[in-house]
Amino acid sequence: MNRYVTIAILLVAFLFPVITKATECEEARREEFRTSDGVVLAAKHYENSGRPIILIHGVAANDRYFDIPYKHFSMARFLCRSGMDVWIVNLRGVGTSGYRSGTTRDFTIDDNVIYDMPAIVDGVYQATGKKPVMLGHSMGAWVLSGYLQGLVYEHGSKVIADRLIAKKRQELINGIIMLAPGISIRWEYSLKYLLKHPEIIKKYKESLIWETNPLLESVARSRILRVFLLAKEEVSPKLLRSLLWLPLNKIPFIGKDLWRLFDLGLHSLSEKTLLFYMAMNPENVDVEAAHVALKDGVDVISGKVGIQLANATKTKKPFSYYPGIFRSKPPARAYNYLQHLNDVMVPTLVLGGGKDVVVNHAAVYHDVFREIGSTDKRYVDLPEYGHFDFFIAKNVEKDVYQLVADWVEARN
């Protein structure tokens, strides 16, 4: 046989699997799961023959953040090209065009945990015959942690942990990955502490903004906000997007305490936009990728989910839903999602961001990572990362995507 023909055959044999894999990972299809309360959930599936991985978005978000159609900013396609079978799920009520999930009125994070996650995990396991890895960002990590704790409803709406169910659920899972897990929402310096100790503001000045979030704390105290959220079944993406571009001193419901903090020396903080203070570290991200993601990545937030997040911010603990308008403390029946993290025994990777003002990296390490019961666990701190930098940082492929791919591969 002519040696040039032989070389050509060898090249085709070598390159064909690579080309086929790349082509497969550019086309996704819609998959559906039906929950026990009758809601049809949608998933964006990049099919491959490797380990299934389920990607779970945060609050007021959807599948877009895992699949940004700009340059190299698609975690889903990167992981697919690395050999994984990728399922981007949309929890109830959210999703981009073609991948939008059904919904129910006034749902809570507890509904995501108790209804949505079992349908998703069981569906992926049945479709692939393999134990999936679960990856959750922010509230998505809260949701997956509750699923693994075996949470169910008792007597209609009371959330309890069932250890037998937890054991069965964990047997279906190969591992979990938490990006900026929004399970513990607290900071080094609380708003109340700063108001009592203004010398801290004078001492740390601008560097203080990475160790506190007076905006979230002040808003969480607002009874007017709670009444607003209870009156609305959902907050629209249009309203949420408009808020992102407002300076902090123009945000509704910020309260008099935050104005006092501005007067004590954090004037520059008052002029920062919500987008570049809360959502990301502007020096670390590709701003154009952020614009592409925000175009249809900002989604609705249920009024009750908003109240549940406000309660978590106010109490510094992630409780199950309660209205909280006239309560300074949660009711005795409220479930604390940090309570049984030590029962989570699956392999775990946790990533925190040093410049994440939504989920403080110290709280992530002490309240979440250290409490997880698994002996196979790893914590990685990314010093320059803000809350959404895990999708749009300039070096996100190396810092996050490849780290995730290597960790999953090591456990195959």
**Looking at this protein, which amino acid is placed at residue 19?**
I
Point out the least confidently predicted range of 131-135, 186-190, 222-226, 296-300. 222-226
Does the pLDDT at position 326 exceed 90? no
Distance CA 270, CA 264 (A): 12
3-state secondary structure of 260: helix
Position with higher pLDDT, 26 vs 399: 399
Tell me how many helices (H) and strands (E) the chain has.
Answer: 20, 12
- CA 350 to chain CA centroid, Å, is 12
> 158 - beta bridge partners?
154
Positive or negative: CA dihedral 316, 92, 137, 386: negative
The domain segmentation of the chain, as residue ranges, is 3-185+336-410, 191-314
Neighbouring C-beta atoms of residue 5, cutoff 10 Å: 9
pLDDT-derived band at 13, boundaries 50, 70, 90:
very low
Position with higher pLDDT, 44 vs 228: 44
Position with higher pLDDT, 146 vs 206: 146
Token pair for 240 = 């949420």
Does the pLDDT at position 198 exceed 50? yes
Position with higher pLDDT, 4 vs 316: 316
Tokens 């049984």 locate to 340
Burial readout 158-167 (b: 16 or more C-beta within 10 A, e: otherwise): ebebeeebbe
Token pair for 322 = 């309660």
Does the pLDDT at position 276 exceed 80? yes
Q: Give residue 209's pLDDT.
A: 77
* pLDDT tens figures, 217-237: 888 888 888 888 888 888 999
pLDDT-derived band at 4, boundaries 50, 70, 90:
low
Phi, psi of 50 (to 5 degrees): -85, -160
pTM: 0.93
As a whole number, the mean pLDDT across the chain is 91
Q: Give residue 12's pLDDT.
A: 44
> 285 - beta bridge partners?
393
pLDDT-derived band at 23, boundaries 50, 70, 90:
low
Point out the least confidently predicted range of 47-61, 119-133, 212-226. 212-226
Distance CA 290, CA 280 (A): 9
Residues 6+ apart with CB under 8 A from 154: 160
**Among candidates 176, 184, 171, 174, which has minimal Cα distance to 371?**
184
Q: Give residue 227's pLDDT.
A: 85
* pLDDT tens figures, 138-156: 999 999 999 999 999 998 8
**Among candidates 59, 109, 62, 114, which has minimal Cα distance to 88?**
62
Helix (H) / strand (E) containing 15: helix 3-24
- DSSP at 393: B
Instruction: State the average pLDDT over residues 379-398.
Output: 98
Helix (H) / strand (E) containing 324: none
The CATH number of the structural domain formed by 3-185+336-410 is 3.40.50.1820
How far CA 411 is from CA of 62, 140, 408, in Å, comes to 27, 22, 5
Instruction: State the average pLDDT over residues 169-184.
Output: 97
Q: Give residue 1's pLDDT.
A: 57
pLDDT-derived band at 308, boundaries 50, 70, 90:
very high
* pLDDT tens figures, 61-76: 999 999 999 999 999 9
pLDDT-derived band at 20, boundaries 50, 70, 90:
very low
